[in-house]
Structure formats: C-alpha cells, structure tokens
Structure 1
C-alpha cells in the first residue's frame, strides 16, 4: 500500500452489530419473527461466478461474509433471539473455494446467539417459527417469499403444540431496517470517509494519467487499479468515463471511445471499502486546459455545487437543495446569454427540462443509492446528523442549433459525498480537486 495511504479505519465491532439487531427486535411484536436471507453466488458464465458481495441488509445486521446464509430474529426467545444458518463445513469444497466459518465460527466470530449449518436448516426453522404469528421478511425478495410460503404451509399442516396459532401473516421488514440504515454511526462514517479518500486518490491518478489519444477504458483502468491498490474491494458501481459528447449520457458505461484534444472528460466513479461506497464525479479537460466556454460552464456548475454544500445542515431538505441548484444553474446560463426569460417558460423550468434532468442528491452508505425514504409524513424529509448524501449538479448541453456553437455538446457534473453534522456538514471527498486552477495544476503533473 502507498506510504501516503490514509490509515485504515477499524472494522465495525460486534457490539454495534448486536445493537442494530437489538433495535430491530425491540421494534417488533413479541409474537413475530424475522427471516432475512443473505446473498447467494451468481453465475457469470457456465461454471464461473461473479465475485461474491453480501446483501447490504444482511451485512448491516450481521457482518457475516459468506453466501447462502439465513438470519432469524426471534423476540423473547430464551435460548437466544438471533439465530444464523450458514454453509456446512466441507473440507473438500473448502480446498477449492476457501475456508468456511461453519456454525461454531459464526457464533465465535460474529457474535450471534446460536448457529446451525444449512443441512439442519429445515428441521430447526419449523421449531423456531412454531407459535409465531407474523413473519417479517423482505417482501421484494422472491426467494425469501418462496421459503416463507413453504414454511407457512408446513406449519399449517403439522400438529401445533404451541399455545399461539401457527404462522399466518407476512410483513415487510425493509421499512424498519432501512430507517435504521439511514442515519450512520461513527464507525460507518469512518468507513465512508475512507471510501471517499480512496475514491479521491483514484480521481487524482486518472487526472495525472489523462492525455489526448488514450481511450476512456484506460482511465477506467487507472481508477480501478487505485481502488484496489489502496485496499478497496473495487468499484462501488459501474465506473463512468465519458469523453466529449458521451458526458451527455448520464449513465454512460461503455468507456470505449478515444479521448480527444479539446474535449472534456467526465468521470463518475467511486471505491467500495468494507461494503461502504464512495461516489465522486469530476470533469476536466483532456489536454489539461479548459477552453473559455468550457470554463464558463464549469464555473456555473461549481458555484451551484458549492452553494448547495454550504446549505447542508440539520433541518434542510434535499428538495430545498435541488431547488437552489436549479435556480443557480439558471442564473448562470442567463448570465452567459444561453437562456433568457421569454415569458412562456422560466429559465428554471427550462434548465430542469433540458439541461439538468436529474436530482441533486441521493443517500449514500452500504449502497451507492442507499436506502431510506425521502419523505416523512408526506413531506420532504429533513436532514439530521449522521445522514450522508451526494451533492451532484450538472449541465448537459445538447447539439441543438439554437445554442451558441461554443457550448454545444459539453457535459459537466461535479459530485461530492457529504455527511450531515450537528453544525452543518463534512465533505468526505474533498481530496479530489475541483477548482479550475487546482485541476489544471494537477493535470500539469503528468
């Protein structure tokens, strides 16, 4: 690892995982149970799989890293309220695919109350769920629903020895769980800060490497090398490296075109570290110098972003931040004589319809577009300390003849990760330069 790498944060400890499970259990009726499956391996082609990545909800409650696991939470159970099912120990398979923790390791390493290997799962599940009236599970997960339906059918047909009636109702566990995930702990913020630092170093590396004649995928290779070199597991999402007019495609991931002298390149890429996501966008000139038109548009987007970040504090809303960004972008385009008020449509509505078709912010955490409702009691949700968001205004100028020729085909986005604090906010990705002078100075280093 490079000598200038930031110190690696401590992993989330077992007590925090226990507190998360406790909070969820305490929100449940005493006659309920939770059934939450982990992720399974996914076939990439024939007999090879994609690299395994644990389900975010399952990881949030357990930290358990193996596929085909199942978490059962049982409020009030005397023998232990947290039961985990996991892969069987299998020396022959472990020779091929790596060591497995097994039931004993799950209890010892991950602090669950009780664990069984999957070979024993069906028999124990029926015992654990007998007498439970409501089963909470992710209702959007087809495999979880199939398992729950099968278990309900078996419980309904077996002699019931419990005082309470057998399992009859299903409920969605995700609203309660996602509400918990929305506000990050100090340990989570440390991991997000580290993911942001790794991501920022990668963007700096890509800037230094950039020159006309390279292909977009070569900058992608520079980014993703740095993600892994600094201890990340790889990209948190498909990296976007969009040169020239490709920047007008918001989720452009082909990354196959050459980088041309005189164009800008937009990079939207972030590292994943311990399953937490970084998410940065920077836009810079391929040849190292902004043209006057590029710089003018860039400064409009940058000013809008900086004003939005300065407005992040407890009590504000993402809707208010977005409205401010649209207002600032419109004012900037009016000042450049790209827009005017024709009396039929305001500059703000033209910007939102034509030049800036996406939102300004989204939640960030274990998922790059993290979970949690954006509205509360029917109103835009107020920010509170511990929430983490992106601030990512952009302008995407089409090749339309009614626009000044110098501005056509330019796409610009600037994005940072921002944690809400009691006093305001902390920018987690500030190590990636975004001022014009700083970008051009870094590009001169190559």
Structure 2
C-alpha cells in the first residue's frame, strides 16, 4: 500500500490519459469531446460548476464551454487542441480569472489552444479529410454541432472537401480507460476515503437525540471542505429511523429520535474523484438487541464479499455468496421463514436487500465501465487489478412491513466500503470509518463522556 498523500493529479497523468486514448483511435481520425457549460440555478446565478468527467479525464481542465480536439493523421502523428474561453479583463473582474490560450498550452500540455469563438472556424478543417470522427453520442448538443461541421465539409465536395464516412462513440474508449485506475488515481482515491472516513467519525461524534439530520449533514460537509474535498461527490444521505428505508433519501430534515439508527451515505470529492461510504449507527450510542442482530449480519456479509475480491472474481459471483449468507441469516433471525434452499432459489432476501451489491467508483460515484451484465442483470465481468468498486450490502425493514415481527420494523442498515482490486487480492480504501459494533459504540461513548 502506498503512503503517498495526493490531493491533485499531476498534469502528466492527463497527458497519459490522452496518450492511451490516442492509441485506441484509428489512423486518420479526429476525436471531439466537450466541456460542460454552466447551468442556471435562479435568474442570474448558476449552480456550482461540475466539469464533464470524460473531458476532465483527458485534460484536467476545469473551465466551462471548452472543447478538446484530438487529431491522429495517416502517419499516426497525434496532436491535442484545446478551445477555451479567451482572456477578458472585464469578465474576469466579475466572474473570476480564466486560464487563456497561452497558459492552456504551457500548463495543460496541449499542442495548440484557441478561443471558443474560433471553434466553428477550425472544426470543419479538422474534420475535412478524416475517415472517422469520434465523439460522445450521449451529448445531444455536441452531436448536433458535429453533424453541422460535417455538413459544412460536405458542402465543399466540389472544391475537394472530403467528409468522414464513419462515426464512433468516444465514450466506448473513455469508459474502458477510466475503469482501470493508475497508481496516482488510487492514491487520490485513498486520500478521498481518508477525508470521508474522518467525516463519518465526526458524524458519529456529533449526532445525538433531538438533533436534526441536516445538522449532522453540516458536520460532514464541514469535515470534507476543511480537508480539501470542497464538494460532496453526491447528495449526502442522513437518514434517521425509518428514513433509512428510503434508498436515496436526501431531505435530511427530520429530528433524530432515541433508540433509532442513523444511516449516513456520504463521500467527498477530491480533484474530481469520488469516495462513497455508508455507515449506520445508533443515535443514542448503543445498539438495541434487534439493531445489533441486523447490523452484525450486514457487516458479516460485507466482510464476506470484500474478502473474496481478487482478479477473476465478479459481482455475479459475489452476489451468490452474499445472497446465500443474508438469506440464511434472516431465516435464523425469523425475518424470513420457510425452506432455506427454496428461499435462496426464489431470492426472497431481495425483499429486504433491494439494491445491487456494488458499483464501479471513480470520477463518477456510479462510475462508467461495462459490467458484462446478462438478461438476468447478472454482472459477469471479471475483476482486474486497478478496478475500484463499492461493496454495500443492506437490509431494509420499513415500519409499514406487517409481514415481520414488530421488533424488526423501522430498521434500515447499509454498510459500504470502497475497494481496489490488487494483483493478488484487494485493498480496502475505507479504513477510517469505524464499522464494528464495539468500535462505533466506543467512539460515540468517548464523544459523549
């Protein structure tokens, strides 16, 4: 395990990403990937800007409205061209400094940089004579522009213009590249987990009966920001009691009650890379007998799955292990009833474990990358060194479930770690968020002493 503390990727990392992309491009082709644009929140104010992740992966550039053009000629010579906002003293006084074209070349190591106003002038020339254009098909705005530039080239056929005959979805390449993390990316995600794990510790120490969910959320976000993760990677879930049985509960508005659990799903974002951690703990600092039974079952299932991770393993295989284990456990507790074999075959545990076991993690919290899922949604892709994923079993028994003994109702437990696949096995990046009953109760007792 590396001890490197990394809070920002070096620009050489983004150059390496472009080089890997170039290797996937055919000769005599051009790739076009756009940045995001700012989105209006209300009248003349915007939401906090979040860069398009594929664009960021290839550039490290974090301004809106930019465009990356990658050109590979017949001789496999490659060039990177960045279009970005022009330097403008008046706009910069109002809205902040811009990189500009000179620093774009110097700092982001592209061969050429032009202004956004020059995009429509240059792009038909970059496309002219190429056999293939690569761009993200899911980006409707960019797709429309690409077809417009191609149409301009087609209009010059009599003058010797040559429009490309093949179009290719660039996301097919970037999705695969992003799935395997470099040592720098792993170091960054390790640090994101340290920050996020400490935020979960803080939440355990600051939560208490009578506080509101949003007050605990504020403690988490403060811990993220003061350690360099200025933004949450996704909407923070702080779900007390029966709210934990709403998977994507983000209202975070209710009061925390005695003898209930608090489920927190929260991860910071560091230089664009996400952590995604869930912990569940008793609001008053002590698990009840029933809470302890469900919690320990979920914890054991999480550890069973994590310890089985290695190259060649798959989510499909882990799901078999986890479903069998949870089914047996719920049967022994009396939450499920019937024949064990039949319950496993019918996947009755999915009444209470209602989501998947995990997902890829990286620049997006639900990161890109093919799972090789079949018609039954079984994910058979073998794990490889450098993949990062979540493992997050859960059991959810809402108050409205009249099929179980009343003592179980209102309990919702999820425990989620971030796992990197190594050459021989795995590395659990989530080392700083306590998950055992003893550790959680001890931390909360210390905070309240």
- Shorter-chain TM range is over 0.9
For structure 2, the 5+ residue unaligned runs are none
Does residue 70 (structure 1) correspond to residue 67 (structure 2)? The answer is yes
Contact 1:334 1:347 in 2 (8 A): no
Contact 1:11 1:187 in 2 (8 A): no
Structure-1 residue corresponding to 2:18: 21
- Cα distance change on mapping 1:406 and 1:70 into 2, 3 Å: same
Does residue 107 (structure 1) correspond to residue 105 (structure 2)? The answer is yes
Which of these residues, 80, 87, 103, is aligned with residue 82 of structure 1?
A: 80
Structure-2 residue corresponding to 1:245: 242
Structure-2 residue corresponding to 1:53: 50
Which of these residues, 139, 142, 145, is aligned with residue 143 of structure 2?
A: 145
With normalisation by structure 1, the TM-score equals: 0.95
- Cα distance change on mapping 1:326 and 1:311 into 2, 3 Å: same
Contact 1:84 1:115 in 2 (8 A): yes
Structure-2 residue corresponding to 1:128: 126
Q: CA shift at 1:128, angstroms?
A: 1.5
State how far apart, in whole Å, the 2-side matches of 1:10 and 1:427 are. 19
Which of these residues, 154, 167, 171, is aligned with residue 174 of structure 1?
A: 171
Structure-2 residue corresponding to 1:3: none
State how far apart, in whole Å, the 2-side matches of 1:28 and 1:289 are. 57
Contact 1:235 1:272 in 2 (8 A): yes
Secondary structure, counterpart of 1:383 in structure 2? coil
State how far apart, in whole Å, the 2-side matches of 1:138 and 1:87 are. 22
- Cα distance change on mapping 1:343 and 1:438 into 2, 3 Å: closer
CA offsets per residue over residues 289-313 of structure 1, 9 Å max, x none?
Answer: 0000000110100000011110011
Q: CA shift at 1:8, angstroms?
A: 4.4
- Cα distance change on mapping 1:10 and 1:393 into 2, 3 Å: closer
Q: CA shift at 1:20, angstroms?
A: 1.6
Structure-2 residue corresponding to 1:355: 352
Secondary structure, counterpart of 2:262 in structure 1? strand
- Within-5 A mapping of 1:144-293: 144-159=142-157, 165-293=162-290
Q: Provide the aligned length of Structure 1 versus Structure 2.
A: 440
CA offsets per residue over residues 268-327 of structure 1, 9 Å max, x none?
Answer: 000000000011000000001000000011010000001111001111001111221111
Structure-1 residue corresponding to 2:38: 41
Secondary structure, counterpart of 1:29 in structure 2? coil
State how far apart, in whole Å, the 2-side matches of 1:157 and 1:137 are. 21
State how far apart, in whole Å, the 1-side matches of 2:5 and 2:67 are. 30
State how far apart, in whole Å, the 2-side matches of 1:343 and 1:443 are. 37
Secondary structure, counterpart of 2:300 in structure 1? helix
Measured on the aligned residues, the alpha-carbon RMSD in Å equals: 1.9
Secondary structure, counterpart of 1:375 in structure 2? coil
Q: CA shift at 1:402, angstroms?
A: 2.6
- Cα distance change on mapping 1:181 and 1:377 into 2, 3 Å: farther
Contact 1:17 1:62 in 2 (8 A): yes
Does residue 394 (structure 1) correspond to residue 391 (structure 2)? The answer is no
CA offsets per residue over residues 191-214 of structure 1, 9 Å max, x none?
Answer: 110111110000000000011000
Q: CA shift at 1:348, angstroms?
A: 6.0
Q: CA shift at 1:401, angstroms?
A: 2.5
Structure-1 residue corresponding to 2:296: 299
Q: CA shift at 1:344, angstroms?
A: 9.9
Contact 1:317 1:382 in 2 (8 A): yes
Moved more, 335-344 or 237-246: 335-344
Structure-2 residue corresponding to 1:443: 444
Structure-2 residue corresponding to 1:12: 9
State how far apart, in whole Å, the 2-side matches of 1:321 and 1:255 are. 32
With normalisation by structure 2, the TM-score equals: 0.94
Structure-1 residue corresponding to 2:380: 380
- Cα distance change on mapping 1:343 and 1:300 into 2, 3 Å: closer
State how far apart, in whole Å, the 2-side matches of 1:155 and 1:47 are. 37
Q: CA shift at 1:159, angstroms?
A: 4.7
Secondary structure, counterpart of 2:149 in structure 1? helix
For structure 1, the 5+ residue unaligned runs are 1-5
- Within-5 A mapping of 1:398-417: 398-399=398-399, 400-417=401-418
Moved more, 152-161 or 130-139: 152-161
State how far apart, in whole Å, the 2-side matches of 1:69 and 1:176 are. 20
Q: CA shift at 1:28, angstroms?
A: 1.7
Does residue 434 (structure 1) correspond to residue 435 (structure 2)? The answer is yes
Secondary structure, counterpart of 2:72 in structure 1? coil
Structure-1 residue corresponding to 2:316: 319
Secondary structure, counterpart of 1:144 in structure 2? helix
